[in-house]
A and B are shown apart, each in its own frame.
Chain A
Amino acid sequence: MRIVFGKKDRPDVAKGSGRGTRVMTAGIGSQFNLGEIWRRRDLLWTLTLREIQIRYTQSVLGIAWAVLQPLALMLVFTLIFSVLLKVPSEGVPYPVFSYSALTFWTFFQGSLTRAIPSLEANEALIKKIYFPREFFPISSVLSAIFDLVIAFVIFLVIMLYYHTPFTLNMFYVVPLVVIQTIFTIGVCLFASAFDVYYRDVKYALPLIVQVWMYATPIIYPMSSIPERFWKFYLLNPMTGIIESYRAVLVKGVQPQLFYVGVAAAGAIVLFVLGYFYFKRIEMSFADVI
């Protein structure tokens, strides 16, 4: 059967690629338009699914990789920092202590390593079809949430094994993940756009991620940093975020509002700036990449 849609009964058309008038002029004016993301959410979802599908159809171990990475790091860190160096872990078994942070750090790191080269990797599409370019880094970050969920389930198993009590405060994880996602997208918008112009970003990335990890309380507790440095230390939004995860999951307490507030504010500011920057130079990607 051939279905023919008249102009009137095409219900989905309007939210497709945006009906109405589009004007393009010279220059690099910004197209700040969050509505566009919403209007084309189907595409964002499809791109996210594509990322997940591709990643797991191409590797033999598939989904196991989502678990293996934080698990392996946890074992190595437990051996080095707990058994050999006796790093304090605030009275919590060190595997639980480190894995609680590594689960979410892996999400951050995975997002960065996928999202930042995403524009470069999709050169063919960027040169040939227009749709919001921020969908590339954003879908990379969203697809990393899939890995996060799997890693988190493993974390719950580890908690059970070490008899760490489950509390209702654990549900704070949800808003924390939202804050972390916004922050991550902000970073990735900046860095991926930058990567189009300066391929150095790609090479610097592994180093930056590594240094960043040590600047965040992952293998050691925040309490081992002298308190007079905390105001600088908390400038790293990941500090507040990771510390809060640990509070709500491992210690079973409410997160410190101040930490969460600082992290949330940082995340939102970075997201807005990153989005602005990205949209401002988006139209030149096709010429430069």
Chain B
Amino acid sequence: MNAIEVENVSKRYRIGQTSYHTLREDIYNITGRLARLRKDRVKANDAGHIWALRDVSFQIEQGERVGIIGRNGSGKTTLLRLVAGITRPTTGKITVKGRMAALIELMAGFHPELTGRANIYLNGAIMGMSRKEIERKFDEIVAFAELENFIDTPIKRYSSGMHVRLGFAVAAHLEPDILLVDEVLAVGDAEFQKKCLGKMGDVANEGRTVLFVSHNLGSVVSLCPRAILLDQGRKCAEGLSSDVVNEYVAKTSENQGERVWDDPRTAPGNEKVRLHTVRIVSGGMVTSSVDIDKDVRVEVEFWNFKAGARLSTSIGLLDKMGVVVLASGNMHSANLVRDEWFGKAHPAGLYRTVCTLPGNFLNEGLYNISLSVLTDITNFEIAEREVISFTVHDTGAMRKEFVGVWGGVVRPKLAWQTEYQGPLNDGHGELS
């Protein structure tokens, strides 16, 4: 029996600053509003709209665990929202059988002024538990969240980690037939993440259906036997999750080491700063595959439209499982050299910032770059996740002796030294 059936589903969103109207705009047609709503969806031309999903179909059997992967903006979250019933498809049909819990935003139902206790009741009810059910599981939820001592404190005094724990604890005790999970495991400390993954494994083993959306390919492979790959709103692969993950990895490294946005009106960013180019340069060439012993230059070009903006740039480096390897920025105290433009007022114009990752530092494999340009060191003007990727190959530089699989996220050359401390018989008798 299928727990979830998605048939030819498409979803179109209006793009633009606000989607609600003012009365003035619509007053001429106020009585026809309802009719217009329907026509809008079918007739309006595509300008000003974006297809978040196009003709996606798949079935998930009861008790199956399926992962959904894809780049940012590939439609993963939209798909989850549709299955969760938060929004309606523009075309197509979705059928869901059984009680469903959507862990899309664990903390959406929280209110900061209320105590942990009140929030458990509130969030539990929002997620679909009855009062009796919550009462019965209350102690278990509190224990899972490890918040026994803070349960009567307003949650505005909680740390963000405590929020997450409380949110997951409520959701984990929901006992749904179908569980939708979106990236919640990206938050919280490592210890708690492990606990959550364990709990999700339990849930799945109890024969529940799980639909899991994540950037973390490692947890998709370990949790879900099957995966679906989305690209630009279309389903482009479906099958064994290890195969699909490999296809995804191959696809995301297809770029040629350079991404250029030509139009300063639509490039990523905002009216203050927009991204022009991101490129990977290694060995004097623009490339997406680099040698393990060569420096990797991450070159970022951006337009500054607002004279006087105090700009700074930072990057995040992620491995193929989505683990953040490092974060770095051009601030003086974190810079090997000196970037005179850091935090200084930038006249309007085109700028290039270059960050150099040393050779003999990363391990083999795919790495992704996330990029941000900030004003006043705090405000994100450009924040692009996984904007460009590159693959590190060991072409033999570190393979002269050992040829096996080299574990680890990084593979720096470190200083090794062994000293001879003297013969074995140094005053302790001789081995015979």
* Residues of A that sit less than 8 Å from B by CB: 2-3, 5, 10, 12-13, 15-28, 40, 42-43, 45-47, 49-50, 53-54, 57-58, 124-131, 196-200, 280-281, 283-284, 286-289
Contact = CB atoms under 8 A, between A and B. Distances in A.
A127 B84 CA distance: 11
B19 interface: yes
Interface stretch (B96-104, B278-286, B320-328, B421-429): B96-104
Interface stretch (B106-114, B225-233, B391-399): B106-114
B21 interface: yes
B273 to A, nearest CB: 27
Given A58-B113, A124-B108, A286-B81, A16 B94 contact: no
Contacts of A283: 87-88
A125 B23 contact: no
A50 B140 contact: no
A24 B128 contact: no
B87 A287 contact: yes
A17 B100 contact: yes
A50 B108 contact: no
Contact of B102 (A13, A16, A130): A130
A46 B122 CA distance: 6
Contacts of B88: 24-28, 283-284
A198 B125 contact: no
Q: How big is the B interface, by class?
A: 35 or more
Contacts of B38: 27-28
B125 A46 contact: yes
A77 to B, nearest CB: 32
Contacts, number: 163
Name the 6 nearest CB pairs between A and B, nearest first: A17-B128, A128-B105, A200-B23, A130-B85, A46-B125, A43-B125
A279 B130 CA distance: 23
Interface in B28-73: 33-34, 37-38, 41
A21 B178 CA distance: 12
B95 interface: yes
A157 B380 CA distance: 58
B105 A129 contact: yes
Contact of A289 (B20, B99, B133, B154): B20
Given A24-B94, A50-B118, A129 B86 contact: yes
A186 B85 CA distance: 25
Given A43-B126, A58-B113, A26 B90 contact: yes
A114 B207 CA distance: 43
Given A3-B140, A22-B85, A54 B175 contact: no
A19 B102 contact: no
